[in-house]
Amino acid sequence: MTSVAGPDEDGDRRNVSDAVGVLVLGACATWSLITAAAHDGRPEGVLLALLAVAAGYAAGRISGALLPVAAPCAAALTWLGLAVGLPHLAPGPELVAPLGQAGATAALLTLATGAACCAAWSTRSSALRLLLRMAAVGIAVAAATLGSVSGLVSCTAVLLCSLAAGRMHHRGPGIAGLALAATAVTGLIWAVAGNAVPEGLAASLRGQLTAHRIELWHDALRLAREDTALGVGPGRFGELSTTAAQSLLPDGKPHSAPLQLAAEQGLVGVVLLAAAFGWLLYALWRSPRPTPVVLTAGAALTALAAIAAVGNALSFTMVSVGAGLLAGLATAHPLADERSPR
């Protein structure tokens, strides 16, 4: 569905969403420095992730304006190549699934699927659109070949959401549904960490997520309760977690972005993380791109949020850059007039 807003209104919308993004990312950086100073923490990881998101977003806005079809195609190929070569590219010991690099692999495959689907909705050629959708299916098949179950599930979900987005005339309900889905996943993770789920469901999740991961979540929630306001300080979870200390190959992460923020930066850190995700959805809602492109990118970013809620995907800089890049591609204003294909 083509936007009916004029150039001035489009510019005002982009300026508002950009200003909100600067404020949110700036608040995240400032709070990480405050909590680090209070508890002698190490905020470098948080600051690097924020810089990666901002750089990726800027690059996506520029490349998406110049090459609305070629840019997401190139991004999809790059992320697929990184996912295949990740075990040889990532530093440190390679841990077995579902910890270690499995979350990053699933995240990269999800971003690749989202980019391919966005490119398909951006082209006016029916043959190229079909080819790009077949490429998205191929990425899902690659996830199965690599043994990434979460990647296969998330890639399939993004592909189905992208096809459904073509039948939606208004993006508001879709954006609201994505926000609700992310909230539900986060709430479930929090309930598991606090032993607030039924025993049958808890046993099933323990088998899927492993007991070690859930014990890390228990430690994160315990640390969050000890200092709800400021947390224990960025980068200090590995020092204070008994489960991490007993691990043979500890990485110092609780393998859940919301719980890590809660443990290391307190309740305010969790609120700022939610605000950052909310800003991405808000920027997509205000985007001048066609609704199918917007909702496809939103579905991929929501799937990425779900992966980050149960893993350490955001600890990999390439994933943070990719999230910002996909959001930038979906919020860019192409130089040529763009119509929503049906």
Strands (E), 40-132: none
Q: Tell me: the pLDDT tens digits for 120-141?
A: 999 999 999 999 999 999 999 9
Supply the pLDDT for residue 179.
Answer: 97
Q: Could you give the percent of the chain with pLDDT greater than 90? A: 71
State the average pLDDT over residues 190-217.
Answer: 88
pLDDT class for 208, splitting at 50, 70, 90?
confident
Q: Tell me: the pLDDT tens digits for 248-280?
A: 666 778 999 999 999 999 999 999 999 999 999
- Domain spans in the chain, listed from the N-terminal domain onward: 16-331
pLDDT class for 304, splitting at 50, 70, 90?
very high
pLDDT at residue 5 tops 70:
no
pLDDT class for 244, splitting at 50, 70, 90?
confident
Supply the pLDDT for residue 3.
Answer: 43
Residue pair 79/324 in contact (Cβ under 8 Å)? The answer is no
State the average pLDDT over residues 164-174.
Answer: 92
State the average pLDDT over residues 159-166.
Answer: 95
Residue pair 140/155 in contact (Cβ under 8 Å)? The answer is yes
Supply the pLDDT for residue 199.
Answer: 84
Q: Tell me: the pLDDT tens digits for 47-100?
A: 999 999 999 999 999 999 999 999 999 999 999 999 988 765 554 444 444 455
Supply the pLDDT for residue 336.
Answer: 67
The residue with greater pLDDT, 342 or 321, is 321
- Distance between CA atoms of residues 330 and 122, nearest Å: 10
Q: How many CB atoms lie within 10 A of CB 42?
A: 15
Q: Tell me: the pLDDT tens digits for 80-89?
A: 999 988 765 5
pLDDT class for 207, splitting at 50, 70, 90?
confident
Q: What is the Rg, in whole angstroms, of the alpha carbon atoms belonging to the chain?
A: 20
- Distance between CA atoms of residues 110 and 46, nearest Å: 22
Measured CA distances, 35 to 30, 94, 226, 256 (Å): 9, 30, 14, 19
Supply the pLDDT for residue 61.
Answer: 96
pLDDT at residue 338 tops 60:
no
Which stretch of 54-68, 101-115, 196-210, 319-333 has the lowest confidence by average pLDDT?
196-210
The residue with greater pLDDT, 95 or 230, is 230
Mean pLDDT of the chain: 89
Supply the pLDDT for residue 169.
Answer: 85
Q: Quick one: residue 195, left, alpha or beta (phi over 0 = left, psi -120 to 50 = alpha)?
A: left
State the average pLDDT over residues 104-132.
Answer: 95
The residue with greater pLDDT, 207 or 140, is 140
- Distance between CA atoms of residues 267 and 296, nearest Å: 31
Q: Tell me: the pLDDT tens digits for 288-302?
A: 999 999 999 999 999
Q: Could you give the percent of the chain with pLDDT greater than 70? A: 89
